[in-house]
Structure 1
């Protein structure tokens, strides 16, 4: 059975709504054969990453960058996972108050270095998530998970 690891930092109601939509899509009953593991960014480990077949990352944009929690996750898992996880699929979502450009750029830079393969367009939201934004998060979760069943 394939495993999807969702690593998130969810400090606000807007991030929580996006996270819940991603999890709902990832655990949709029609998608079979994938175990979904959720870890807060500060508790996710290199072992979690090595045990997963794909990844879904979520963060707020803080001060023009991804959260310190998600950056800490990347810092502690980067070298232990560098060679073993190349080519694995991932997706991500970012919530910002008014700009998420730096957070997106940071995640794309690190995942490029890891050699991960983006399997879906990211969901980038500024301000309060709309119904369409929440649906896009659901689709992101479902897409990444369904891709692991192939």
Structure 2
């Protein structure tokens, strides 16, 4: 049994909905326990206990939203000191493009190092059923890879 940690930051509620959809998808995979935490409640001990990390972040004015940036800044050096290396996946809610927020996350996470197991998923615009489906598919695929040991 492996643990998938889903960490999210939300202001409008969209990222919370995406995180729940990803968790629901991941929950369809046997052999994986799913934990969902807000970025402000998660820390390096949670990373150390996880077998994989899915970050659900928002783009804010073309950049990574502050709550998620604060989380990755807070765990950066402690994760390096502990030698934490995890597969990760990125899910970004974007009002515009989302690529800059993804690039910021990738740059920070590569320093820990966390290794991207999947292509980042960017959901642009307002919440809709399609965004929920994409989040669920990402959660399920990432959990399946963790369960099979391919990440």
TM-score between both structures, scaled by the size of structure 1: 0.89
**1:71-100 CA distance string (max 9 Å, x none):** 1111111111125222x2110111111221
Alignment of 1:25-40 (within 5 A): 25-28=25-28, 31-40=29-38
1:85 aligns with 2:77: no
Equivalents in 2 of 1:84, 1:53: separation in Å?
Answer: 13
1:139 Cα deviation after fit:
1.0
Equivalents in 2 of 1:13, 1:76: separation in Å?
Answer: 23
Match of 2:6 in 1: 6
Question: Secondary structure in 1 aligned to 2:36?
Answer: strand
Once the two structures are overlaid, the 10-residue window that deviates more, 132-141 or 105-114, is: 132-141
Alignment of 1:31-110 (within 5 A): 31-82=29-80, 84-86=83-85, 88-110=86-108
Q: Point out where structure 1 has 5 or more consecutive residues left out of the alignment.
A: none
TM-score between both structures, scaled by the size of structure 2: 0.89
RMSD, aligned CA: 1.5
Q: Point out where structure 2 has 5 or more consecutive residues left out of the alignment.
A: none
User: Quick check: 1:5–1:54 contact (8 Å CA) kept in 2?
Assistant: yes
Say which of 129, 132, 142 aligns to 1:131. Answer: 129
User: Quick check: 1:123–1:133 contact (8 Å CA) kept in 2?
Assistant: no
Question: Secondary structure in 1 aligned to 2:56?
Answer: strand
* Aligned length in residues: 147
1:130 Cα deviation after fit:
4.4
